[in-house]
A and B are shown apart, each in its own frame.
Chain A
Amino acid sequence: MSVTVRIPTILRTYTGGQAEVAAEGATLAEVIGDLEKNHTGIAARVLDDQGKLRRFVNVYVNDDDVRFEQGLETATPDGAGVSIIPAVAGG
């Protein structure tokens, strides 16, 4: 499965400044693993020491927050858009 991943500004040092990159994987975990292969170091920024999503990272597959879905096991269908976004407070 090929997906497009939107990279937040603070992670673009790993993608040579690119705001969007392509990645492969049938689940979010596989997509992050594929990102790591091509952009070494990026996975450790998104995942904590236990391999879970860091608590201040929000990840969306298309329009769905993966915390409402299956987390890292959320399916990433072919052509999906994945967005990695720092959590922000507001109101």
Chain B
Amino acid sequence: MRKMRRKGLASMAVQTVASTSNPTVDLGPAAALSCRECGHQVPLGPVFACEECFGPLEIAYDFSAYDTEELRKRIEAGPANIWRYAPLLPVPADVADKPNINPGWTKLVKADNLARELGVTGGLYVKDDSGNPTHSFKDRVVAQALEAARAFGFTTLSCSSTGNLAGAVGAAAARAGFRSCVFIPHDLEQGKVVMAAVYGGELVGIQGNYDDVNRFCSELIGDPAGEGWGFVNVNLRPYYAEGSKTLAYEICEQLGWRLPDQIVVPIASGSQLTKIDKGLQELIKLGLVEDKPYKIFGAQAEGCSPVSTAFKAGHDVVRPQKPNTIAKSLAIGNPADGPYVLDIARRTGGAVEDVTDEQVVDAIKLLARTEGIFAETAGGVTVGVTKKLIESGVLDPSLTTVVLNTGDGLKTLDAVAGTGLTATIRPTLDSFREAGLA
């Protein structure tokens, strides 16, 4: 890919990187780490915070060699997983040949029944990431972190997790031959605990909420006890986060290389939403989609809504909250990318909204009933927020809209535990008729 001829895309080189390149690390087009706050650059390495201002480091790429049409053809001829976009990710060119769980290229479901129910006329789609190997979008981000872990010589893969990530790390480590040791709040849904434990790695419950787990992992990383560990969402976070760009790439390619008009994204840390925006911007700059406006909407549960609270109050900083919601995969009370989410929602003309736990459950059932998609609570949050935003006139039903479902409902069965048998009958036709089922 790097041999592709140069054709007027020199401006895609994100920043000047000559003085900060790390020649010993091959992560494809990734050229350096750049601070999102102050622009300070450092060589590619297992670091995540700017030494100048504590701002988050993210990948600076050199896409200058790419020709738009050659790139499009290469992507379309690529494997039916995220590695079709390897030229746009921090991974080596031969990534598809390495042992990994090959996530992505999940279904973009045209949700006509749900559209009728919600009054959407411009086309409604559900990007259903429950179809990933461990049934959540986390496989996308872990796959990037795994390649970084390989590049930096780590042999233990770890994370702080609200559950989905723990399973994704366990599975990726098992396939790649890494040790895994992951940390979760001790009171997670049983389905997520089992899904994290079954891959054979170590699973440690921390007595506290996700923010406590995150704090613990951040301290472990600076301690000799954590030396040599690749924490996918801490010291490998700049690489990990890039995986969410693939959601944007896939949505646009599946729409026929077209930007959606509106996209509704769940917010936990806010990282996914910011990277979806980054992915859309890259496609525009690379000429793979037409440059036109799009709106990004963020969705939270009312019981953990620090970003929507800040959005509605007109603030540009996010005040942390103590989470209390059934949407545990979104229960991050101190979302690190919250300020960036606010920037993006406002810049694109979108919004950030929240729904109650009751509305989350109703939305899970609505999506299941109309489209045959059983979403986890985070999917209930996005569908519920979509409904609320349409009803309040904020989301335009005449425009093409994509709603993300980031995980499988089987992970959060407790949320819909009241759903059960319609009737219990004797095994006779009379009993069937008596129950009014004929």
Contact = CB atoms under 8 A, between A and B. Distances in A.
B300 to A, nearest CB: 13
Given A60-B215, A83-B219, A91 B332 contact: yes
Nearest to A86: B49
A88 B336 contact: yes
Contacts of A9: 221-222
Interface residues of A, number: 27
A65 B218 CA distance: 14
Contact of B165 (A46, A54, A90): A90
Nearest to A6: B219
B223 interface: yes
Interface stretch (B19-27, B71-79, B105-113, B154-162): B154-162
B337 A89 contact: yes
A56 B233 contact: no
Secondary structure at chain B's binding surface: helix, strand, loop or mixed?
A: loop
A2 B221 CA distance: 25
Interface string A15-59: 000010000000000000000000000000110000000111110
A90 B54 contact: no
Contact of A89 (B53, B212, B219, B237): B237
B56 interface: yes
A55 B215 contact: no
Given A56-B37, A56-B336, A86-B218, A91 B49 contact: no
B162 to A, nearest CB: 5
Contact of B218 (A63, A85, A91): A85
A19 B48 CA distance: 18
Given A54-B54, A56-B56, A89-B269, A67 B161 contact: no
A87 B271 CA distance: 12
Nearest to B37: A56
Given A88-B336, A89-B270, A45 B233 contact: no
A90 B159 contact: yes
B429 to A, nearest CB: 51
Interface string B254-288: 00000000000000111100000000000000000
A91 B56 contact: no
Q: Which 3 A-B pairs have the closest CB atoms?
A: A89-B269, A86-B49, A90-B233
Interface of B: 37, 47-56, 138, 159-162, 164-165, 210-212, 214-215, 218-219, 221-223, 233-234, 237, 241, 268-271, 317, 319-320, 322, 329-330, 332, 334-337, 339
Given A56-B49, A91-B164, 6 more contacts: A19-B222, A88-B48, A88-B336, A89-B269, A90-B271, A91-B332
